[in-house]
Chains A and B, each alone.
Chain A
């Protein structure tokens, strides 16, 4: 196959990948989009095979390795529970990162194969591209591992900070740049290894200071990095499909990070610098005991909801933790039977990754046209009888609108307090991630339901 024809095929798979993302503009077209993505990938792999034309023993090995990886991936894809989706995505990012590192290493050790020159005499441009690809890939790899451990709960979600952390990161970042510079001057193997090692370290250090609820930003950011790493390798290998894909994925992750930051009204840098939501905010909790709180049981809640004409459900991370999405759907079914109008309101940063709540509700067979985004539904709270807050906290806190001193001031929130009554399912009065008290707990129209989200929802269903 001629190089030109090959390039055209890569272009076609690039276009198919664009269509795959395009399909996600609505659930109707999304499945078709995914199919485009699969076809694009198949084309890229098959034409690469054919272009090599080496159908000897090596080919057999290749198929074996492909099968090992493929069956492992398929196994994971079918077994993984939907609640574990954030850590799965983080884990997958780490694999892309490591694969980029490996390909870069391979190109560095054997540049002839990729037409990049010869060992010790690699083209300068290719050296820069492959070192950048390897470095970003390495950061993606270890960063995603840390994100995975935090999301999985194998590592505390609390931010880990120490003095001079940011300077250390800056120093490490600069040293990578310097090393790449010297690598171009004297092509010493050890310099290349150092670049990768330092980048591994940098990945760890970048993610440990970032706390649990900032994970939506982190995971989108790592998504973006994995794209840039792929693009770097794409430049090295002069491969259009990789360049297009890298650019798509890179900008996709960047946009998601932006949306997540905006959902929290925080700058990207303040999230990256981390340390938010530590345990040092005791000052705000001192007046907790003085304010009266109304608490109720499943019976009261059922009574309120049964007599309501419209109910809005506000799910949050707590719903994912308690795996309450199915119980919730059953409750809603019971409500609908008695003629109550029910809709769901999703805050952009609810959960641990973009769209986390939507996937869980979809898993519980909630039709997606009953689920609304913040801007779509926020005005409806004023006309709704009951808001059922399950596992959400900070995203409903009216303080964000009223108190300029508050750390979450300016964050867009769901106007839950405007509804006639609020049912707040929570284990205790403890503050949410931002470490601040929720004003909503003490409102006249709020009824606290102290229990596990799933248990409470099931009990309410029984009482309906």
Chain B
């Protein structure tokens, strides 16, 4: 008897929910806004689907409907990836400790 690969993916999914649960509870409340922007950035890893969608298939018909949706998704995801990580970086750079001399 063989196990459906779907079950493996489901296991990964469920275990990741647990990891997410414990990791996110340990995030300090003062960093909740950067948490939202960084989760937003990493969820744009959906771009890998967009890349496959836009490039795969025969290369003569790059602009059939399926590819176009792929390209559009790339643009959207790219806005998110760059925007999300950079704005997180910008925010995190502002969190400073009290200076010693005070």
Contact = CB atoms under 8 A, between A and B. Distances in A.
Contacts of A38: 85
A103 B53 contact: yes
Interface string A256-268: 1001000000000
Nearest to B50: A103
B98 A370 contact: yes
B63 to A, nearest CB: 9
Contact of A58 (B31, B55, B93): B55
Interface residues of B, number: 84
Given A107-B53, A110-B57, A370-B98, A76 B38 contact: no
Nearest to B39: A249
A96 B69 contact: no
A445 to B, nearest CB: 29
B71 A248 contact: no
A256 B24 CA distance: 9
Contact of B23 (A54, A76, A248): A248
Interface string B40-59: 11111111111111111101
Contact of B86 (A26, A73, A235, A369): A73
A226 B43 contact: yes
Contacts of B92: 27, 30-31, 34
Interface string B1-45: 000011001001110110111011111111111111111111111
Interface SS of A by simple majority: helix
A256 B16 CA distance: 17
Nearest to A231: B13
B51 A99 contact: no
A56 B60 CA distance: 10
Contacts of A177: none
Contacts of B32: 256, 259, 353-355, 358
Contacts of B24: 21, 248, 251-252, 255-256
Interface in A97-125: 98-100, 102-103, 105-107, 109-110, 112-114, 125
A61 B50 CA distance: 13
B87 A77 contact: yes
Given A45-B47, A336-B102, A359 B83 contact: no
B44 A239 contact: no
B75 A65 contact: yes
A25 B26 contact: yes
Interface in A40-59: 40-41, 44-45, 48-49, 52, 54, 56-59
B49 A354 contact: no
Contacts of A89: 33, 36-37, 40
B43 to A, nearest CB: 5
A70 B79 contact: yes
Contacts of B65: 109
Nearest to B64: A110
Nearest to B16: A247
A227 interface: yes
B30 A371 contact: yes
Contact of B25 (A85, A99, A255): A255
21 contacts: A27-B31, A30-B92, A31-B92, A34-B34, A34-B92, A37-B88, A58-B54, A70-B79, A85-B87, A89-B40, A95-B77, A99-B44, A106-B49, A110-B53, A110-B66, A227-B43, A230-B45, A243-B9, A251-B17, A256-B35, A354-B32
Given A61-B71, A252-B39, A358-B33, 9 more contacts: A21-B23, A65-B75, A69-B81, A70-B78, A92-B40, A95-B80, A110-B67, A256-B32, A355-B32
